[in-house]
Amino acid sequence: MLTLAQAARPGGPGEDLVALLAAVCDIESVSGRERPLADAVEVLLRAQPHLEVLRDGDCVVARTHLDRPRRVVVAGHLDTVPLADPPNLPTRLVDGPDGPELWGRGTVDMKAGIAIMLALAADLGRPGVEPTCDLTWVFYDQEEVEAVRNGLGRLARNRPDLLAGDFAIVGEPSDGGIEGGCNGTIRVEVRTRGVAAHSARAWAGVNAIHLAAPVLDRLAAYVPAQVEVDGLVYRESLGAVGIRGGVAGNVVPDACVVTVNYRFAPSRSVDEAEAHLRELFAGFEVVVTDAAGGARPGLDAPLAAAFAQAVLAVTGGSPRPKYGWTDVARFAQLGIPAVNFAPGDPLLAHKDDERVPVAQLAPCRDALRAWLLAGPVDRGVGAVSRS
């Protein structure tokens, strides 16, 4: 197997994005176990003399200093959800209906984006290949878990200067097109309280699991909204993602918890989403366990619009909404326009049969490379530049 440094070398094996993607994926990096991959990424980037490289835990940041009028931040998370059973690693190349596909955990979410970032970080900024903007490459940890552990969030709190820029691209899977903004997410526990008793004398207690039936009924009857925000239509979703209760097979349970996840359009704030859930589950105890606000599309920003045009010209992908939550929301909170862009069908993210078409890899790399070399120049529009 190629090392990342071998696979990403410009003009060498690095031209083979399949080999690079396989090398990235085959370093298993489930959330909380990103260190081996972060170490390999750091070694690769420190070998590039045109990059300043900094490390924060298992987050690696690399920057050019070309004294350009604008700075573009390209960010992607190194972690994946847990492996399937049986494990869907190491990766394997399979003949699909429309050509070769690379199968395995992380191929879609989001190591295809990471592979493109590594290839371009090693390429752009070296002598003779100088982009029209300065670049910041951010490879961060723990995106697939609760928001408080997110590595990009840690940087935003502790080193916001490392994320400064005029525009950001997050390498989340977007099927080769631009996905604008993202839905917000909130998880709550809806709790019921009963009275414990021996199950042989159930009438002496109150079954907390039975008391949760109206919660499930309300969820089953709920019709999620479709909300237009700045020209893109976001589909909301709401559902139970877990239920727990009971201590033994002969005890009437005195407590039950239904965990509910609500993905809400970026026109709502976290507070509004919470209020909506409290109204829906009126009469029940509702406890918020995790929440992150969404981001509006932001495609009206000049740099975002120009990048969307460049992507359309190469991949044919028109802008669409991002239904899941992504870290474009963090950039939005920092006042930096951001979009999602990378190979891979978002519908295959987290699935046991996760796979990416080989044919999507090079066009996405080439679209981003061409725009960075010729696109984000200072034409008197956009945000004030930051370096």
| Distance separating alpha carbons of residues 375 and 372, to the nearest angstrom | 6
192 φ, ψ (degrees, to nearest 5):
-125, 150
- Alpha carbon 267 to its chain centroid, in Å, reads 20
SS3 329: helix
DSSP of 284-353: SEEEEEEEE--B---TTSHHHHHHHHHHHHHH-PPPEE--S--THHHHHHTT--EEEE-SS-GGGTT-TT
Active-site residue, from 79, 109, 141, 144: 79
DSSP state of 182: B
Q: Which of 32, 74, 28 is nearest to 51 (CA)?
A: 74
H/E segment holding residue 322? none
| Distance separating alpha carbons of residues 345 and 54, to the nearest angstrom | 31
| Distance separating alpha carbons of residues 57 and 46, to the nearest angstrom | 16
Q: Which of 69, 55, 113 is nearest to 375 (CA)?
A: 69
Pairing of strands 178-180, 320-321: parallel
Neighbours of 374 (CB within 10 A): 11
Going along 89-128, which residue ranges are E strands?
A: 92-96, 99-103
Is the C-alpha dihedral spanning 312, 304, 341, 319 positive or negative?
negative
Instruction: Report yes or no: 185 and 352 within 8 Å, Cβ to Cβ.
Output: no
- As a whole number of angstroms, the longest Cα–Cα distance in the chain is 82
H/E segment holding residue 224? none
Active-site residue, from 101, 123, 143, 144: 143
Annotated catalytic residue 58: no
Annotated catalytic residue 79: yes
| Distance separating alpha carbons of residues 281 and 279, to the nearest angstrom | 5
Q: Which residue has tokens 């002969």?
A: 250
| Distance separating alpha carbons of residues 192 and 215, to the nearest angstrom | 10
Q: Which two tokens stand for residue 106?
A: 């992380």
Q: Give the residue numbers marked as catalytic.
A: 79, 143
